[in-house]
Chains A and B, each alone.
Chain A
Amino acid sequence: MKFAFFKGCKIPYYLGQYETSTRAVLKPFGVRLVDLEFNCCGYPNRDLYFESFVLSAARNLALAEKKRLDIVTPCKCCYGSLKHAEHYLHQNEKLRRDVNAVLDREGLSWKGTIKVHHLLTVLCDDIGLPAVYASIVRPLGGLNVAAHYGCHALRPSNVVHFDDPLAPSIFEDLIAATGAKTVDWPRRLDCCGNPLLGKNNALSLSLMRAKTSDAADSGADCICTACTYCQIQFDAVQKAETPEHLRESMVPAILYTQLLGLSMGLSERSLGISRNALSIEKLGPAWKLLPGAF
């Protein structure tokens, strides 16, 4: 299996461990990730300009089309953005014509021949749960995980085609494969608040804290994410923005690739769990013994 690896703007400098853990986790399944010179997916500037957002996303799709590769992205905002652009380009002929006219100046064009995947759908559908189960060497029994779905991959379902938008199960299924126990938490489908960071910090943090307190109340040891922005929100932002007296109530977050990689017995060097801002208590020294084997 070969995919064009769409990292997005944040992973290289802000969440390098997401790239290394994704590559490490997909490699044993024979998935090859190809790096193309992608640009920003367009999601951040949809607030200002519709056309620029579509062009940004379309250029990435066109670059992958040129190499005849499907795209896989570990970020849900990027996934949503690319799927939206695809949707609009299919639907609106005028838009398609104008966007292709701009792309043509670089020798690119969008025809809609490739598909956009998210990391989780690749694991669940293309690689398949049986194969994932088979790769586990160290089930993480005893760890209670709150699966955080994020928003932009899940909704609007008629555009993103990710899972059932009201009762999704893909993430819990994948987490269950690692041996960890998933908790049932009422706010599991709520927004992490990151889109508002820098725009309305009070609101952004309020949304985040609603999630973390709900996760704690539901008995979770940690939140599991599969999106760059969500992870940054629950990890670096939570650490930086939580005042001293509330430190006790912080709920750490871990990337799904790190969780899976841990249960697959992969090295800490590629998983980068120590690079996360917040550490999970239960994943203390006892859990990190395995790296020696590699």
Chain B
Amino acid sequence: MIKTLLESTFLFVCLYIALGICALGILLRIVRWFAADIGPRAAVIPVRKRVAAAAKGFVTTVFSLRFFLFFKVLVLDVMLQARIIKTDLSRWIMHVFIFYGFMLLLLMHALDELVTKKAFPEYYSTLAPFQQLRNVFGLMVIIGVAVAIYRRVRHRGPMLITRYADRYAVIILAVIMISGFLVEATKITSESVFNRMMKDFSSAGGPADEDALKAFWSSEYGTVFADFRAPITPELIAKGKQLNDESCGSCHAPTRTAFISFPVARALRPAAVPMDRVKADVILYYIHVLACFAGLAYLPFSKFFHIITDPLTMIVNGMSDKKKVNQAGAMPRRAMELDACTNCGTCSRFCSVAPVFRMTGNETILPSHKIRTIRSLSSGKKIGADELRKISEGAFICTSCYRCTEVCPTGINLQDQWFASKELLAEKGYPLPHVWVKQFNASEWSDRIRAAEASRAGDVDTIKGRYYNLTADSDVFAHCIQCQTCTNVCPVVAAQTERKDAVDITPQKIMNLLRLGLNDLAMGSRMVWDCTTCYQCQENCPQGIQVTDIIYELKNKAYGHFKNIDRTAGNDSREGAS
């Protein structure tokens, strides 16, 4: 059955090889979801526990009221793709055209023996409405692909990066569609196909009838004959039409209804005869079919894997209780979500802290980049200290505002991915600076800062604020009279939680350090990093000194220095970050 459709044992075998590779690839990726270590304490949770948790989650959801959400998600998110239209109409048009165009082609055209013929027993691919529909769906895909290319060119930038996988997706679709139209077009012009059909099906009598049919087909249906001598008169065409209606009409709608392929066939006129001689229609057919098979085989490794992962992600997340996350069950879900990301950049477009990216240039702040770093964080690949520091900065600048999760068209629970990766980074020794700074005390940090600056042949004050330099301007702090009002109103000083974490350098001492030019001593101090920024000191200072602003500036400068210091170096006697 499929064999006759493909008309070739070779292609038949190729199909099954492609299907096999595809199935194997999908299986491999699913296995990896359960084996990948994503998130905190990953190594501790064994694989069988993850499988069990996932299965339990599945069963509890199916047998609960939340099951009805399945239909809502299926219709709204998977079929109507409502999540895309929420943020971007042109993307929705592009995707709906590509998705429905391709799916309908797959069902109606590629699987016509299995699907269409069963539903419509009189089906022939060249009959109406199938011929038009094939062209409609193919055109839809081409329009969708054109919009996709336009969007990626127009909006290119750090928030929408086009990579190999994106280019591949567009190219393979274009190749399949264009080759498809070319197959149809060359079949329309092909004299040898016409002759074969005429021999098999027509009830034409002698040469005169044949001429009539040929006249009709060449003038109305686009066939190009190398050597047709008979004069084409209206009577001949009318006779041909009559013969056509008798023998060909039951299977052939006018080729004009293939409204894309027909003009293409017309355009190919000059080359039609040489193309027919080399059997271009067969060559193009092989290209078309093999391109489809290549796409099929490569599916689980390409961007098109999202056809499977995205509906799964939407359904799983659409039905689960987002606030209760079971760590064992969450890991395979997170791994699956990484495969669901289609790199569309919508999350970054709406990111609340995108301006920080614009100022600092650290693209790991953007969600579309973060989702990729999570992949490398969990792959076990060795990531350098500097890179880890950048990733940690990007992770902790995020304010967990949830917007990216709301707008993600694939329904990925991005918020959960960020929480998990923050915990993981803390585990790896890259928590928030305020936490990590505790591993050394103020004078140890001062030593390190001086050492780092000395090795860079600079001095401690090389980090100058571009706009304000309160800590270097004696007019700002010199008139401190050491009245200790700042220290006495400071709630952090008063709290005195634990001896080892107690405030080491109180606010008025910081003023003294500034006067002595020992800013670096203040930079790693508890006071600076435990300051709760309540502005009591600044408000109450009788000399109007900007105490809190100075502490902020010390934080900023310290952070600048810390970037140059190898945080793994030295002092094993100190406890790690809390």
A residues lining the B interface (CB < 8 Å): 9-10, 12-13, 37-40, 42, 44-52, 55-56, 59, 88, 92, 94-95, 98, 102, 105, 151-152, 154-157, 165-166, 189-191, 193, 195-196, 198-204, 206-207, 210
Contacts of A206 in B (CB 8 A): 495, 497
A40-B401, A47-B434, A50-B553 as given contacts; A165 in contact with B539, CB under 8 Å? yes
Q: Is residue B501 within 8 Å, beta carbon to beta carbon, of the partner chain?
A: yes
A56 to B355, CA, bound (A): 5
Q: Which of A13, A40, A191, A196 has its CB near the most chain B CB atoms (within 10 A)? A: A40
B355, A52: Cβ atoms under 8 Å?
Answer: yes
> Interface residues of B: mostly helix, strand, loop or mixed?
helix
Contact among B432, B466, B538 for A198, CB-based, below 8 A: B432
B530, A196: Cβ atoms under 8 Å?
Answer: yes
B530, A199: Cβ atoms under 8 Å?
Answer: yes
Residue of B nearest to A58 (CB): B355
Q: Is residue B179 within 8 Å, beta carbon to beta carbon, of the partner chain?
A: no
Q: Is residue B402 within 8 Å, beta carbon to beta carbon, of the partner chain?
A: yes
Residue of A nearest to B356 (CB): A52
Q: Is residue B444 within 8 Å, beta carbon to beta carbon, of the partner chain?
A: no
**B117–chain A nearest beta-carbon distance, Å:** 51
Contact among A40, A48, A56, A210 for B559, CB-based, below 8 A: A48
Contacts of B578 in A (CB 8 A): 200-202
8 Å CB interface, B410-450 against A: 415, 432-435
A9 to B555, CA, bound (A): 23
- Identify which of B144-152, B181-189, B215-223, B392-400 touches chain A: B392-400
**A206–chain B nearest beta-carbon distance, Å:** 5
Q: Mark B352-370, 1 if CB is under 8 A from A, else 0.
A: 1111101110000000000
A151, B467: Cβ atoms under 8 Å?
Answer: no
Contacts of B352 in A (CB 8 A): 9, 38-40
A155, B534: Cβ atoms under 8 Å?
Answer: yes
Q: Is residue B8 within 8 Å, beta carbon to beta carbon, of the partner chain?
A: no
**A215–chain B nearest beta-carbon distance, Å:** 15
Residue of B nearest to A195 (CB): B532
B467, A47: Cβ atoms under 8 Å?
Answer: no
Contacts of A52 in B (CB 8 A): 355-356, 359-360
Contact among B350, B359, B402 for A13, CB-based, below 8 A: B402
Residue of B nearest to A93 (CB): B467
A88-B467, A191-B532, A202-B498 as given contacts; A9 in contact with B492, CB under 8 Å? no
**A149–chain B nearest beta-carbon distance, Å:** 11
Q: Is residue B458 within 8 Å, beta carbon to beta carbon, of the partner chain?
A: no
Sample (6) of A-B pairs whose CB atoms are under 8 Å apart: A9-B352, A9-B401, A13-B415, A42-B355, A56-B356, A207-B495
Q: Is residue B167 within 8 Å, beta carbon to beta carbon, of the partner chain?
A: no
B356, A49: Cβ atoms under 8 Å?
Answer: yes
B466, A12: Cβ atoms under 8 Å?
Answer: no
A98 to B468, CA, bound (A): 14
B355, A39: Cβ atoms under 8 Å?
Answer: yes
**B109–chain A nearest beta-carbon distance, Å:** 43
8 Å CB interface, B524-578 against A: 529-530, 532-536, 538-540, 546, 548, 552-553, 555-556, 559, 578
Contacts of B552 in A (CB 8 A): 46-47, 50
A151, B497: Cβ atoms under 8 Å?
Answer: no
B466, A199: Cβ atoms under 8 Å?
Answer: no
Q: Is residue B403 within 8 Å, beta carbon to beta carbon, of the partner chain?
A: yes
Contacts of B530 in A (CB 8 A): 196, 199-200, 203
Contacts of B553 in A (CB 8 A): 50
Contact among A37, A55, A157 for B355, CB-based, below 8 A: A55
Q: Which 3 A-B pairs have the closest CB atoms?
A: A9-B401, A155-B535, A199-B434
The number of residue pairs between A and B whose CB atoms lie closer than 8 Å in the complex comes to 154
Q: Is residue B263 within 8 Å, beta carbon to beta carbon, of the partner chain?
A: no
Contacts of B356 in A (CB 8 A): 40, 45, 49, 52, 55-56
A13-B402, A155-B539 as given contacts; A94 in contact with B359, CB under 8 Å? no
A154 to B538, CA, bound (A): 12
A194 to B352, CA, bound (A): 20
A13-B402, A48-B556, A52-B360 as given contacts; A199 in contact with B354, CB under 8 Å? no
**A211–chain B nearest beta-carbon distance, Å:** 9
Residue of B nearest to A37 (CB): B350
B401, A13: Cβ atoms under 8 Å?
Answer: yes
Contacts of B397 in A (CB 8 A): 44-45, 48
Residue of B nearest to A57 (CB): B355
Contacts of A49 in B (CB 8 A): 356, 359-360, 556, 559
B466, A51: Cβ atoms under 8 Å?
Answer: yes
A203 to B533, CA, bound (A): 13
A156, B358: Cβ atoms under 8 Å?
Answer: no
A166 to B467, CA, bound (A): 30
Residue of A nearest to B437 (CB): A199
B399, A44: Cβ atoms under 8 Å?
Answer: yes
Q: Is residue B20 within 8 Å, beta carbon to beta carbon, of the partner chain?
A: no
Contacts of A94 in B (CB 8 A): 466-467
A9, B432: Cβ atoms under 8 Å?
Answer: no
A49 to B491, CA, bound (A): 25
A199, B501: Cβ atoms under 8 Å?
Answer: no
Contacts of B465 in A (CB 8 A): 50
**A187–chain B nearest beta-carbon distance, Å:** 9
Residue of B nearest to A155 (CB): B535
A59, B529: Cβ atoms under 8 Å?
Answer: no
B492, A39: Cβ atoms under 8 Å?
Answer: no
Contacts of A202 in B (CB 8 A): 497-498, 501, 578
A95 to B468, CA, bound (A): 9
**A44–chain B nearest beta-carbon distance, Å:** 6
Contacts of A95 in B (CB 8 A): 467
A203, B353: Cβ atoms under 8 Å?
Answer: no
